Amino acid sequence: SPHQLNITSFNATTVAIITLETFTGMWINAFIVCVLCIAWVKKKTLNSNEKILLPLGCSRFFYLCFSWLYSFLSIIYPNCLWVHPIIQLIQGFYSFFNCSNFWVSACLCVFYCIKIANFRNRFFIYMKVKIDRMMPCLLLGAMVFSLVIGILVYNIIDKALCKDLNFTCQGRFWKATVRIEEHFYPIHFFTGFVYTISFMAVIFSAVFLLFSLWRHKRTMQTNSMNSLSVDAHIKAMKSILSFFIMYSINFMSLILTLIYSTKKENHVMFIVYLIQHAFPGVH
């Protein structure tokens, strides 16, 4: 029917666009990881900035892999997702790499704020001195926390699908879907809370850094310093502001995913998928 043809065409377009965004982002992040690994071998060490970028590149690479795999199967071969334990593994790994991607991005923004911004507060000065030693622990904590989220998601889906269900019956299939949604409400709330905390860290880091750069730029203009230095600070402010806007859009797409994942809003989810697959490459 014309309706089915429209749906098929829409699904094919969705897969094509997501695939293009995914493999572009995977290539970019793989290139970053390779460059950092080569530098690690040559120097035998990595600075704090590189220690953040390495797990960030890896988490985004694998996040795009599992995100594309889930999108591809859910659109082209939806029945494959109900084969045990495909959906459990995909969603578990997806949640782990998505959460680590979000938290490590926040760590990167906080690190830049502390290293670049200039405030005379004692606590801020203490953090500026200790941030290099603290960063490996923060990254390890982010990875462990993300692993816990991934394991929780795996267990929730596994219990919802495998407990007293018979997938050969259409009625049972519908009940399984409802049960999954009911199980996912608490994990959706918890995941949204986690996203919000990391997003607040990004907001405060961006605001403090922008204020510090703006104040420093005014000081240079008042003292009639080199215009090139003033231009450099203006470019830095624009870069931080653009990242903050991108991060905010990505955060909103994640929240929309939690809201519309249990609803049949294909066009809304299509826009959300475009944003989520574009962010790891654009950033």
Report DSSP state, residue 102.
H
| Band (228; pLDDT cuts 50, 70, 90) | low
pLDDT at 180: 52
pLDDT at 196: 84
What is the number of helices (H) and of strands (E) in the chain? 7, 0
| 265 or 192, higher pLDDT | 192
- Which tens digit of pLDDT belongs to each residue from 52-96? 999 999 999 999 999 889 888 887 777 777 777 888 888 889 889
Return the top range by mean pLDDT from 70-74, 162-166, 187-191, 228-232: 70-74
Is the Cα dihedral 156, 195, 90, 7 positive or negative?
positive
Mean pLDDT computed over 162-167: 52
pLDDT at 39: 93
Task: Enumerate the domain spans of the chain.
Answer: 83-281
Contacts from 163-171 at CB under 8 Å and sequence distance 24+? 167/82
Please tell me the distance from the alpha carbon of residue 37 to that of residue 43, in angstroms, as a whole number: 10
| Band (176; pLDDT cuts 50, 70, 90) | very low
**CA-CA distances (angstroms) from residue 194 to 61, 77, 144, 190, 203?**
21, 31, 14, 6, 14
Please tell me the distance from the alpha carbon of residue 25 to that of residue 21, in angstroms, as a whole number: 6
Asked if 52 and 111 touch (Cβ cutoff 8 Å), the reply is: yes
Structure tokens at 127: 């953090």
Asked if 108 and 52 touch (Cβ cutoff 8 Å), the reply is: yes
pLDDT at 184: 62
Structure tokens at 215: 């104040």
Please tell me the distance from the alpha carbon of residue 164 to that of residue 176, in angstroms, as a whole number: 10
| 62 or 219, higher pLDDT | 62
Average pLDDT over all residues of the chain: 80
| Band (229; pLDDT cuts 50, 70, 90) | low
Please tell me the distance from the alpha carbon of residue 266 to that of residue 264, in angstroms, as a whole number: 6
Please tell me the distance from the alpha carbon of residue 42 to that of residue 78, in angstroms, as a whole number: 46
Statement: residue 219 has pLDDT above 50: yes
Structure tokens at 228: 């090139």
Please tell me the distance from the alpha carbon of residue 229 to that of residue 251, in angstroms, as a whole number: 33
| 138 or 238, higher pLDDT | 138
**Nearest Cα to Cα of residue 177 among 167, 187, 186:** 167
Q: What is the SS3 assignment for 65?
A: helix
